[in-house]
Structure 1
Amino acid sequence: MKYKSLPARACAGAILLFISLTGFSQTDTTKTDTTYWKKDLRTGLSFNQASFSDNWQGGGVNSIGLNTFFNYKANYQKDIHSWDNEIDMAYGIIKNEGQSSRKSVDRIYLDTKYGRKLSSKWDFFTSLSFLSQFDKGYEYDVEDPDTGEVYDKLISNFMSPAFITSSWGVEYHPVSYFKVRFGPFSPRVTIVSDEDVAVNGEVEGEPARYGVPVGDKTRFEWLAFQMVADFNKDIANNLNLKWKYILFANYEELEFRKVDHRLDVSITAKVNKFIDVGLGGIMIYDYDQVDEVQISQALNLGVVYKFKNYSDKK
Structure 2
Amino acid sequence: MHKILPLLFLFLSFNTILAHAQTAADTTWRRSFSAGVNLNQASFSDNWKAGGVNSVAVNAFLNSRADYKWERVSWDNSMQLQYGIVKNEGEGMRKSIDRIFLDSKYGYGFSTDWNTFVSANFLSQFAPGYEYDVDDVGTDRLISNFFSPAFLTFALGAEYKPNPNFSLRLSPFAPRFTFLLDEDVAVNERYGVPEGDKVRTEWLAAMIQADYQKTVMTNVDLKVHYNAFINYKELSFKRVDHRVNLVLAAKVNKYINVNLMGNLIYDYDQDSNIQYSQSLGLGVLYTLQGFSTGQ
TM normalised by structure 2 equals 0.93
Q: For 1:1-150, what aligned pairs fall within 5 Å after superposition?
A: 17-24=12-19, 26=21, 28-29=23-24, 33-143=25-135, 149-150=137-138
Residues 115 and 297 (structure 1 numbering): CA distance in 2 closer, same or farther, change over 3 Å?
same
Deviation at 1:174, TM superposition (A): 1.9
Question: Identity of counterpart residues, as a percentage?
Answer: 49
CA contact (8 A) 1:213 1:219 kept: yes
Counterpart of 2:290 in structure 1 is 309
CA contact (8 A) 1:245 1:264 kept: yes
CA contact (8 A) 2:37 2:59 kept: yes
Deviation at 1:26, TM superposition (A): 3.8
Q: CA–CA distance in 1 between the matches of 2:17 and 2:262?
A: 29
Deviation at 1:267, TM superposition (A): 1.5
Counterpart of 1:158 in structure 2 is 146
Gaps of 5+ in 1: 1-6, 200-206
Deviation at 1:19, TM superposition (A): 4.1
Residue identity in the other structure for 2:267: D
Residues 259 and 90 (structure 1 numbering): CA distance in 2 closer, same or farther, change over 3 Å?
same
CA offsets, 1:247-295, max 9 Å, x none? 0010001111111001111221111111110112111100000100111
Counterpart of 1:182 in structure 2 is 170
> What SS does the corresponding residue of 1:154 show, helix, strand or coil?
strand
Counterpart of 1:213 in structure 2 is 194
Say which of 139, 144, 158 aligns to 1:170. Answer: 158
CA contact (8 A) 2:118 2:157 kept: yes
> What SS does the corresponding residue of 2:238 show, helix, strand or coil?
helix
Say which of 231, 237, 244 aligns to 1:250. Answer: 231
CA offsets, 1:41-78, max 9 Å, x none? 00111111110000001111000111111111000000
Q: CA–CA distance in 2 between the matches of 1:221 and 1:19?
A: 25
Residues 290 and 301 (structure 1 numbering): CA distance in 2 closer, same or farther, change over 3 Å?
same
Counterpart of 1:3 in structure 2 is none
Counterpart of 2:273 in structure 1 is 292
Deviation at 1:149, TM superposition (A): 4.7
CA contact (8 A) 1:154 1:198 kept: no
Counterpart of 1:192 in structure 2 is 180
Say which of 197, 217, 236 aligns to 2:217. Answer: 236
Counterpart of 1:4 in structure 2 is none
CA contact (8 A) 2:143 2:189 kept: no
Q: CA–CA distance in 1 between the matches of 2:79 and 2:169?
A: 18
Gaps of 5+ in 2: none
Deviation at 1:137, TM superposition (A): 0.1
Paired residues, number: 292
Q: CA–CA distance in 2 between the matches of 1:28 and 1:306?
A: 19
Q: CA–CA distance in 1 between the matches of 2:241 and 2:41?
A: 35
> What SS does the corresponding residue of 2:233 show, helix, strand or coil?
helix
Q: CA–CA distance in 1 between the matches of 2:252 and 2:131?
A: 36
Counterpart of 1:204 in structure 2 is none
List structure 1 segments (4+ residues) > 2 angstroms apart after TM superposition: 7-29
